[in-house]
Amino acid sequence: MATALTRKDFASDQEVRWCPGCGDYAILAAVQKAMPEFGIPPEKCVFISGIGCSSRFPYYMNTYGFHTIHGRAPAIASGLKISRPDLDVWVVTGDGDALSIGGNHLIHVLRRNVDLNILLFNNRIYGLTKGQYSPTSERGKITKSTPVGSIDFPFNPITVALGAHATFVARSIDVEQKHLGEMLKRAHAHRGASFLEILQNCNIFNDGAFNDLTDKAIKAEHQLVLEHGKPLIFGKNRDRGIRLNGLRPEVVTLGNGVTENDLLVHDETNLGLAFMLGNFEPPMPTPVGVFYCESRPAYDAEAAKQIEMVTAKQGKGDLNKLLRGGDTWTVN
């Protein structure tokens, strides 16, 4: 029997070249730690990326890898997975790559539900091109290309994915290694397109963008960890929760007659709830975890099934028959 895989089996010999302190290091570490647990040998794994800081990711994985062109990784990964369903295919992308230049491919790969694991590193800035605002940057952001503030309204990756009818939508944070590891596992276990947004700090061009969620002193007041079947509670003392007031969510403090029974219970299979949570913006807490998970046939499996079905019905293709399609005649 082969020896168990370790994280070393998934680390390539290439020097990692992100800026020191970049959140991408933490994500790489989490992925390299999670991969051996899936029990899939490195040669069966493929990492495909587009362009941007995050897209250097495949070079650092000792798997098959393809660093492609800006925004197109989902399309390239789709072609690979459809023709090679035996492979474990991952897409690594960023907020600019996936939501700006590659927005079209992202929504279509999600609605088709191709069995891919899509990791979107969201740092809300363009890093590789040195600091322009991205489609997830907040309005008013001062960057090199918006000296008096961005007037673009940002995309919310979670609701974009839900709007595209993705079958698995989750969010985690670069430094939350345990939570990130769990989300990677969930994403990998899901059959179909798994969409995982990872909030990632760019310490050069957008440092501290997620401080509220990562600063140990205050993060508990801002993070809302979603767990299926459990009430939506947060806060350092776990004394605050989300309650529905009519159709509107509100933050309540437990006590004074408010009990856990009054709180919303998370249900991953409820698309409406997922949308509601996906739209949480400060001062509401920021949800992390699985927003939505549904079982729907994966595109690649369906494509394979059609080929099997037609072959079973018509028999394996015979080239001589193919040539003679339509009427033929013989000249002597």
Binding site for other proteins (CB under 8 A): 12, 14, 41-46, 48, 51, 58-59, 61-69, 72, 75-84, 86-87, 104-105, 108, 303, 306-307, 310-311, 313-317, 319-320, 322-332
Instruction: Say how far apart CA 156 and CA 95 lie, in whole Å.
Output: 10
Instruction: Say how far apart CA 149 and CA 169 lie, in whole Å.
Output: 31
Minimum Å gap between C-beta 191 and other proteins is 19
Return the bridge partners of 233, or none: 241
CB-nearer residue toward other proteins: 256 or 332: 332
Minimum Å gap between C-beta 84 and other proteins is 4
Instruction: Give, for 218, the enclosing helix (H) or strand (E).
Output: none
Minimum Å gap between C-beta 302 and other proteins is 11
Which of helix, strand or coil describes residue 40? Answer: coil
Strand-pair category, 194-199 with 168-173: parallel
Instruction: Say how far apart CA 115 and CA 110 lie, in whole Å.
Output: 9
Minimum Å gap between C-beta 86 and other proteins is 6
Minimum Å gap between C-beta 280 and other proteins is 30
CB-nearer residue toward other proteins: 91 or 232: 91
CB-nearer residue toward other proteins: 77 or 213: 77
What are the Cα distances from residue 315, in Å, to 74, 83, 308, 318, 321?
33, 20, 10, 8, 11
CB-nearer residue toward other proteins: 246 or 326: 326
Neighbours of 106 (CB within 10 A): 28
Return the bridge partners of 121, or none: 94, 198
Minimum Å gap between C-beta 242 and other proteins is 36
CB-nearer residue toward other proteins: 56 or 171: 56
Minimum Å gap between C-beta 180 and other proteins is 23
Minimum Å gap between C-beta 190 and other proteins is 20
Strand-pair category, 45-49 with 88-94: parallel
CB-nearer residue toward other proteins: 217 or 331: 331
CB-nearer residue toward other proteins: 30 or 45: 45
Residue 98 is encoded by which pair of tokens?
Answer: 């996936």
Tokens 């309650």 sit on residue = 243
Contact 152, 100 (CB under 8 A): no
CB-nearer residue toward other proteins: 236 or 324: 324
Contact 242, 264 (CB under 8 A): yes
Q: How is the beta sheet containing 233-234 ordered, strand by strand?
A: 233-234, 240-245, 248-253
Minimum Å gap between C-beta 22 and other proteins is 18
Tokens 């501290």 sit on residue = 208
What residues have CB less than 8 Å from 84, skipping those under 6 apart?
Answer: none
CB-nearer residue toward other proteins: 61 or 209: 61
Phi first, then psi, for residue 122 (nearest 5°) are: -105, 105
